[in-house]
Structure formats: C-alpha cells, structure tokens
Structure 1
Amino acid sequence: MTSASRPPAARLTASRPLMSVHRRSLLTAALATSALAWGGCSRSSSSDAAAPGGADPVDAADGYPRTIDTADGPLTLTQQASAVACLSSDVADVMLALVGPERMQVVPRTCTQPFHSVHAEAARTVEHVIEVTGVSDPEQILGFAPDLVMLTTRHERESDARAQLGEAGVPMLSITNDWDSPEVFAENVTLLGEVLGAEDAATALVADHRRRWDAVAEPVADRPDSERPVVGMIRTLGDNLWMTGPGTIGDTAVTAAGARTLAGELGLDKGIKLDVEQLVKVDPDGLV
C-alpha cells in the first residue's frame, strides 16, 4: 500500500503514536462493535437474575415439549436443556448472555479468557472447559453427558464433531453460517433463544445489539474510502496470532465503524496466521 492510497499513518514503533485521536476513536468504536457480536447484553451469573432487557427467565416447565426446525433437521426437546455442551465460542457467548452459565456443561477455553469474551468470568464457573483440539473428540464430549450440543460449523473441527456426534444421536443445534452481519446475528440469537427457552432475553439482546451497531455505523456510513484508516482485527488462539478475514462479524464490524479492513487491502479471502514481524511489515494504521 502506498501513501497515495490511504491517509498518512504512524508506523508501528514505540516512539510514535499509533494513530491520530480521530483514528483511535474509530478503532474504539470498532472494538466495541465487534464485542457486541458475542455479548451485547451483560447478565448476572445468578440463576434467578433478570434476563437482558428486564425479561424474566422462562419457567422450565413452560412450552415443552417443543420441536424446532434447525440445519440438522427437527430438534425435539422434551424439557429445558440443563447440561448444554457449547463447542464454539460464539454460541457459548450468546448462551451466557441469554441464560448465564448454570445450564452449561461444557464451554470452550477461549470463552474463559477476558480478551476473547465479555462473559469470561461467568464462563470460568462452567464445570468442563474444552480445548480447541478437544472439540473433534466425540468420546470426550459424550463423556460429559450433555443433553444438548451446540456449535458453529465454520471451522473444520466443529464440522467433524457435528458429523460424529450426529451419528451418536446426541440432540444438536448447528449454526451453519458465519455470524457475519447484524441480520445474521439476529437470526442466530433468535434461534438460540427458542432452543434455550429464552425468547424474551433473545429479543432484548437482538434489539440492544442493533441499537449499538447503528449508533456506531450510521455516523460514518458515508465516509469515503480515502478517509478510512486501514485496520486489522487480531485474535490470539493458543500461542498464535490470527488476523480476522472476510465473512466474519469482526471484519464486518471494522468496516461498519468507519475503517478499511487490512484483510481486504491484502486481498485475503479468509483469516490467516501472523507473526509480529509480518504485522510491522504490512504497516496498518491500527489494530483491534
């Protein structure tokens, strides 16, 4: 990228500020927006606390049995799921936002880390924490005796787990999209709310997420590309740095907050593993 293709930006050095105050505010907005994707509403960890938006938790005996259309076919629940294995961080974060940790049997390790999840404190109270490599181990998952498994299939391990656990006959909810827009987020949260018996909490979470998203996105919607800083969204998975790529809510959030994505500027079609030297070499205006 040349200086003619984007606004001047400070390089990644200790002696100079990373970006102007104006650009820093844009990145703050991007970070806030992406965080909303996995937990726009906070919730008390107490099982009898009010759900997001002031809605009361659903009575466990109300509305069961229920049958819900899902990507895996009809899902029939004879009673409220009370030992849920969440194998993907996105479904886990939404469940924590809707009903808290009390009905969760398994949570991914990433959800217990504050730099990955706004619900890390609640996630750390879940009995079983699963590593990334454990997701594709059906025997380990079945050993936790879940009454419902929930996952997102965009990663290979989760896709493998879906196939293997499906053969074992475990009740399962698979999210087969990429959570890559506010509209898709709303669809997924609504479905999770129906499965968990937390419809009112899901409605409140969707409304709060949309309100916050619009508050960030609308003021910068018409900003020309020449005035948008180039921003990379970085995640740490294990000992590795990963740059978020197209088709993710993080990538969409950076754009909505008034920036150009580093992945887009590099012409990437998916996220990639990075090291610090690579980050310095590509010289983005900022990182989230």
Structure 2
Amino acid sequence: MLYRDQMKNKRSGFKPWRLGGTIALLLFATACGSQAAPVTGPVDGKAPAGAYPRMIVAGGKHEVVVPVKPERIASLSLDTAEMALELADPSRFVVAPRSLDNEQLSVHAEQGKLIGTKITGATKLDPEQVLSYKPDLVLMTTIHDGEKDADPILKQAGIPVLTFKEWGTVRQIMDQLDLIGQALGEEEKAKAVTDRMKSKLEAVRNKVEGRKTVSKPTVLVLSPVGPNTGPYMMGPDNISSDLVRLAGGTPAAEAMGLPRTTKATIEQIIQADPDCILLSDWEGKKEQAFRELTGNPGWSTLKAVKEGRVRVMAAKQLVNANPAVVDSIAEIADVLEPASGVKKEAGA
C-alpha cells in the first residue's frame, strides 16, 4: 500500500494462470467500447468548464483521455482513494482499498465505509477482479509489484487509467490532486483544497522562520510498512521527510545517508542519536507497537528520549499521503522546539 522502497521484495499478486480470463474481459471491454460514441471535441485541456471528453496531462505528456464524467470510479491505492474522496461522493466509487476503513491509516475512514466493495490492493491487486466492476476511471499508484503488473492490463481494456508513481512531497500532493480533479470534473473543489493547503503551509512557514535556532534538529521517523512488519526507518521518498523539512527539521534518514526505507535496528538508532523521534501508529497501540525498540536498554540513552522529544502520531498524519498532512507540520514543528528540560509523554 505504501512506499516505493519498502515492499520491493514482496511477490506480485498477479496470477499468470488467470491471463486467459483477463484477455476475455479485455475483448469484452473492447467490444463494448466500440459501441460507444467516439472521442471527439477538445481534448487539450481548453474545453469549456465541465465538458468531456478531456485529456489529462501529467509529466509533460498526454496521459489519458477521459470520455465522460466518471461515475464508476475504481480507486485502487489508499493515497488515490484519499485524494478522490476529497472531491467526489462515495456513491461514485465502485471499489476502493480495504485500508481505507482503517482510522489510523485513513483520514476518510467514515466516508470509505460508504463504499460497498473493498479489495486488497498493492501487492495482491488482481486486474481481472477490477475489470469485473466495470469502472469508467481507474486511479492507482504504481509503487508495488501488483500495481505495476495490473497497470498495462487495465489500460489495454480501454478504460481510462490515471496512474501516479509517488506522493513524496506536499507539492506533489497538490499537483496530483489537481489532476484527479480534472479527471473527475471537480476542478473547483480541487482548487479549494489546494488553496487551503497553501494557506496552512504559509502559516507554518512563518512560524518556522521565526524560530531562532543555530541548526535544524534531526528527526527520525519510525513506522511499520505493513501488518506485522515491525518498525522501519522511513526513507527520503516518504511524505514524512518532506513534512520534517517543512517543519524546520532535517530527516535523520538523510543525515544517516539512507537511500530508502530500511528495517530499524536499535544499533543504528543509537549511532544516529536523533534530536527527535516520531512514531507512526498503524493500529492505535501507540508506543506499544514499538516495544522491540523501546524495550531495549539502549532506547533510554537516546537524546530524544532523555529530552522528551518523542511523539506518537497516527500513520495518516505522518507517513500516508493525503491533503490533511499539512496540519501535521505545525505539530512536528512543536516537537522540534528546543527542549525545556521537562520530559513529555510520548504521544502527548
């Protein structure tokens, strides 16, 4: 569900033996598509407001033509589902990832519960199953093997598929939210969301610039990357690194020279001795989820622990990309304030 580097060794969920059934579905979709009205009219992004078909342009090239306003949306990755639910009613979704229901992972868990069909995405995504829901737009992030395998198959079916490679910065969230807004015919809603994000960014920027510090504190972000995976040190591509930078800190992964998300060991953490530690909570267990680290005697020797600069935050606030992460920047900035000598409770 999450990050480019975290799950590379996970095996793809695509089943080669299902290819025959998938091809049959492709032929059916193509046959049905031949009965539809041809794509005509402006597709250069200059059509009148609300007009379809429209061409969605990303990365400097034409990505996908959306022939009609989507009313059967298949949002297959948590990040794309979070973005789309900012703009569209749950009734427009035919399928979404199961992770959307997890209140620690998703800011739209309540809305997500109104979507009747949920599937396991990421490493176990089955294109044949997706096609059976007859979507008129597919939104997904091609980070995991299952998503990468499914992407070309879904596109061959003639369904508009809008894919994203990463959501590693707040800027990317805003830019890609705009693209989803174009695809869904909800440009004004997308602009309203990104305008709010920009306003909050400006407020925290003023706060951070007003802080008088000699150097930027190092911040280590620890998080699971899936159920029962144990804690990992989040890499530079995760959204948390950008949040730390925007809050006026230095990602410890960057200071440690970590090129990607890496399994956490107490030895590495002691060697890095970060100024602050942020713990990403996936299950509501708070610090208990990190007991393999916090229970080690070396944990209490860390500068961040001694100074009370350890904070537990829900995964949706820290490591999962969504528009609400801008609210987390101010909270992280508070953790980065110079230690007062009074130890704070983790998660306080």
Q: Same fold (TM over 0.5)?
A: yes
TM-score normalized by the length of structure 1: 0.69
Deviations 1:209-236 (A, max 9, x none): 1111232233224664745252315255
Match of 2:168 among 173, 177, 180: 180
Q: Which amino acid aligns with 2:254?
A: G
User: Which structure 2 segments of 5+ residues have no match?
Assistant: 1-48, 265-289, 314-348
Equivalent-residue separation in structure 2 for 1:225 and 1:131 (angstroms): 47
Q: Is the 8 A contact 1:180 1:247 kept in 2?
A: yes
Q: Is the 8 A contact 2:85 2:111 kept in 1?
A: yes
Q: Which amino acid aligns with 1:210?
A: K
Percent identical pairs in the alignment equals 30
- Pick which of 62-71 and 190-199 moved more: 62-71
- 1:85 deviates by 0.9
Match of 2:193 among 205, 210, 217: 205
CA distance 1:143–1:205, shift in 2 (3 Å): same
The answer for the alignment partner of 1:277 in structure 2 is: 292
Aligned Cα root-mean-square deviation (Å): 2.7
- Pick which of 150-159 and 183-192 moved more: 150-159
Equivalent-residue separation in structure 2 for 1:75 and 1:227 (angstroms): 42
The answer for the alignment partner of 2:87 in structure 1 is: 98
Q: Is the 8 A contact 2:73 2:94 kept in 1?
A: yes
Alignment of 1:114-263 (within 5 A): 114-132=103-121, 135-176=124-165, 178-221=166-209, 224=213, 226=215, 228=217, 230-235=219-224, 237-240=226-229, 241-263=231-253
- 1:117 deviates by 1.3
CA distance 1:85–1:223, shift in 2 (3 Å): farther
Secondary structure in 1 matching 2:91: coil
Equivalent-residue separation in structure 1 for 2:202 and 2:238 (angstroms): 18
CA distance 1:235–1:122, shift in 2 (3 Å): farther
Match of 1:64 among 52, 63, 67: 52
Q: Is the 8 A contact 1:70 1:174 kept in 2?
A: no
Q: Is the 8 A contact 2:69 2:184 kept in 1?
A: yes
Aligned length: 227
Q: Which amino acid aligns with 1:232?
A: V
TM-score normalized by the length of structure 2: 0.58
Larger Rg: 1 or 2? 2
Equivalent-residue separation in structure 2 for 1:197 and 1:93 (angstroms): 17
Secondary structure in 1 matching 2:258: coil
Equivalent-residue separation in structure 2 for 1:223 and 1:192 (angstroms): 39
- 1:131 deviates by 1.5
Q: Which amino acid aligns with 1:286?
A: V
CA distance 1:264–1:224, shift in 2 (3 Å): farther
The answer for the alignment partner of 2:7 in structure 1 is: none
Equivalent-residue separation in structure 1 for 2:291 and 2:254 (angstroms): 19
Deviations 1:33-70 (A, max 9, x none): xxxxxxxxxxxxxxxxxxxxxxxxxxxx9412223234
Q: Is the 8 A contact 1:216 1:257 kept in 2?
A: yes
